[in-house]
Amino acid sequence: MNGRSIGLGLLDFIVKAVLVIVAVMFIGKYAGVAYEYGYNIYNQKPASQYDTRTVTVSITDSMSVMDIAELLENRGIVDDKYLFYLQERFSEYHGLISPGTYDLSPSQTADEIITVMCAEAIAKKADAKGN
């Protein structure tokens, strides 16, 4: 073996080691983010436990859940629009948000907010079961 092949072999080893270290760091970071989101989907906390003000929001028929989540984040009702989107997605009321005007508070959890916005659909479901 000559010096050049040893140098190239060493360089190859160093590059592979750096790539493995970078991959492990990315996996560790994003695994932590994924865990935090997963944990917070079901362990809900309000945006502000002590802020009991009421904010009026209007939901239109053309708004997607992400549009609603962005509106709620901009109005200070939820902290994270992506987390709210996932909470709605995994809730029992997925797809039942009705257009309308709602009085919401930052002291409400995502489930409470979703329940308020789905009250009309929930009532229709209950009527259908009762008849």
Query: Across the 131 residues of the chain, what is the mean pLDDT of every consecutive 10-residue run?
Result: 80 93 94 89 86 91 95 95 94 90 94 91 75 59
- Would you state the pLDDT for residue 1? 61
Residues 116 and 68 occupy one common structural domain: yes
60 class by beta-carbon count within 10 Å (0-12 exposed, 13-18 middle, 19+ buried): exposed
- CA contacts within 13 A on the Cβ side of 105: 10
What does 89-131 look like in DSSP terms, one character per residue? Answer: HTSTTTT-PPPEEEEE-TTS-HHHHHHHHTHHHHHHHHHHHH-
Residues 65 and 34 occupy one common structural domain: no
| Structural contact between residues 118 and 110, judged by C-beta atoms closer than 8 angstroms | no
Beta strand residue intervals within 41-99, DSSP E: 55-59
Residues 59 and 13 occupy one common structural domain: no
**What gap in Å lies between CA 114 and CA 82, rounded to an integer?**
14
- Would you state the pLDDT for residue 101? 94
Domain assignment present for 110: yes
Domain that holds residue 91: 55-130
Domain assignment present for 50: no
- Would you state the pLDDT for residue 26? 94
Closest to 102 (Cα-Cα) out of 56, 60, 45:
56
